């Protein structure tokens, strides 16, 4: 999708809200595209209307125009148009020849820069969706690392480490989860070190990137297992958000760490009953090999904190418990610092990535108590699954502000009518991370 800030009259189609149509209904009348009021409040409704207008033109292409008068309207229209224009059919024969959709935005001159900023953000949001939608035989951990390397540029460096290096660093969580797969794991490290950045703040972004998750020996049910290609959506979001921050030239140091692996069965696969030693020396008893994300994040969190991150935010499609709690709309999040939490709240509200805060409390620590190790990776009680996972991660987040995002809406199993979202990756987290970076440089 291209964004042009020019007169709406130059567009092929002009879109407008029509309260007489049903929510989400789109009708074309010559050069006028009428969109039914979506029944959602404020800017979220405008974002949804723009998405439905763009979706109706996705196969035909062309130029659609909206008029915006405020910064919020610019954000909503650019983002909504990108959502509706996105085509998940990456591997269909016709994909490369699909028509281009252009957004012509009729807005005051002082909002043109914002429109171009949001075009950068949604381009990286689309790239995140592409990564999540790639099949696991194509997007291996090594392929994800290659993609991250392709994003390197001025003030953004990227490196990726393989199995031997992971073993040398004594990353027992990542090494053990990766042991069952013939696919090489990767620890991907991105560093954004721009001129003029504050010396006292480095944002650490940590992502889970399980490029396919069968559950390991604790095998998942076969129904919808194909969706487990999306278990790398948190890692994809932090990779693309880091690239967006660099492209926008935000004066903030960022250290991004992504643990990438498959979690499958094999003759070397880790087992229930194993005890793993993480890179900070703490040990974890394995109760369930399908609770693998917290194990690889443990090593990634410790690496980020040990290498200078002052504020850490991790993103992971971590627990089915969060899906059951919040469905496919909100992400759940946890935080150990109220000042940082306030910044996250502002970033979430401004970005449109909806997030609901869950509690951290030391009394929940008993859920991961183990008789044989420092902790265990799961509980058989069936209680507080998302919270006990957060409590385990807290053991490896180190000293300093830390937030954990359990991002259920990053990969969805069915269409969602708001934003005209198709099944698959949604790009959740990219907008929120960019806004959080803006918060930290204020």
Quick: pLDDT tens for 361-373. Answer: 999 999 999 999 9
Residues 260-269: what's their mean pLDDT? 97
- Annotated catalytic residue 220: yes
- The active-site residue, picked from 75, 186, 294, 376, is 294
**Tokens matching residue 314:** 């991790």
Annotated catalytic residue within 28, 220, 277, 416: 220
Mean pLDDT of all residues in 401-423: 94
Each residue of 142-192: pLDDT tens digit? Answer: 999 999 999 999 999 999 999 999 999 999 999 999 999 999 999 999 999
d(CA 55, CA 34): 13
Average pLDDT of the chain, as a whole number? 95
- Judged against a pLDDT cut of 70, whether residue 411 lies above it is answered with yes
Domains parsed from the chain with CATH numbers: 2-106 (3.40.220.10), 133-440 (3.40.630.10)
Token pair 């020996």: residue? 217
Q: Residue 157 burial by CB count (10 A; 0-12/13-18/19+): exposed, middle or buried?
A: middle
Query: Which run of H or E residues covers position 187?
Result: strand 186-192
Phi and psi of 251, rounded to 5°? -80, 65
Query: What distance in Å separates the CA atoms of residue 149 and residue 86, rounded to the nearest whole number?
Result: 24
What does residue 15 show for φ and ψ, rounded to 5 degrees?
-100, 145
Residue 20 pLDDT level (bands cut at 50, 70, 90): confident
Would you place residue 277 in the very low, low, confident or very high pLDDT band (cuts 50, 70, 90)?
very high
Distance in angstroms (rounded) separating the CA atoms of residues 355 and 51? 21
Percent of the chain with pLDDT over 70: 99
Of 411, 405, 389, 386, nearest to 325 (Cα)? 386
């Amino acid at each position: 999708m291209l964004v042009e800030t020019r007169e709406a009259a130059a567009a092929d189609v002009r879109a407008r809200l029509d309260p007489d149509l049903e929510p989400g209904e789109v009708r074309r009348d010559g050069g006028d595209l009428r969109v039914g009021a979506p029944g959602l409040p404020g800017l979220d409704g405008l974002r949804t209307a723009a998405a439905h207008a763009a979706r109706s033109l996705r196969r035909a292409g062309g130029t659609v125009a909206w008029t915006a008068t405020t910064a919020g309207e610019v954000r909503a229209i650019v983002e909504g148009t990108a959502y509706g224009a996105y085509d998940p059919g990456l591997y269909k024969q016709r994909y490369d020849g699909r028509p281009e959709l252009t957004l012509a935005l009729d807005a005051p001159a002082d909002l043109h820069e914002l429109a171009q900023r949001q075009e950068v953000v949604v381009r990286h949001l689309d790239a995140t969706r592409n990564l999540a939608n790639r099949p696991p035989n194509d997007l291996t951990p090594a392929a994800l690392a290659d993609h991250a390397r392709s994003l390197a540029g001025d003030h953004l460096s990227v490196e990726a480490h393989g199995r031997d290096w992971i073993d040398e660093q004594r990353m027992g969580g990542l090494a053990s989860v990766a042991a069952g797969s013939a696919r090489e794991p990767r620890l991907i490290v991105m560093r954004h070190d721009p001129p003029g950045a504050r010396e006292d703040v480095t944002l650490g972004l940590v992502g889970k990137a399980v490029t396919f998750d069968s559950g390991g020996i604790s095998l998942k049910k076969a129904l919808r297992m194909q969706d487990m290609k999306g278990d790398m959506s948190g890692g994809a979001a932090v990779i693309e958000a880091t690239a967006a921050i660099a492209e926008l030239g935000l004066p903030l140091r960022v250290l991004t760490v992504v643990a990438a692996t498959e979690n499958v069965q094999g003759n070397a696969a880790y087992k229930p009953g194993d005890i793993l030693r993480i890179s900070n020396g703490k040990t974890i008893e394995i109760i369930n090999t399908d609770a693998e994300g917290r194990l690889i994040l443990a090593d990634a969190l410790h690496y980020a904190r040990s290498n200078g991150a002052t504020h850490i935010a991790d993103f992971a499609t971590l627990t089915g418990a969060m899906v059951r709690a919040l469905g496919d709309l909100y992400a759940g999040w946890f935080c150990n610092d109220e000042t940082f939490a306030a910044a996250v709240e502002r970033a979430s509200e401004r970005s449109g990535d909806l997030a609901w805060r869950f509690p951290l409390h030391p009394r929940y620590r008993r859920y991961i108590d183990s008789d044989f190790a420092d902790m265990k990776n799961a509980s058989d009680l069936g209680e507080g699954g998302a919270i006990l996972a957060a409590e385990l991660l807290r053991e490896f987040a180190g000293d300093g502000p830390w937030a954990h995002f359990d991002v259920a809406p990053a990969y969805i199993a069915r269409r969602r009518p708001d934003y005209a979202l198709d099944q698959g990756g949604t790009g959740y987290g990219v907008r929120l991370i960019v806004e959080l970076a803006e918060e930290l440089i204020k």
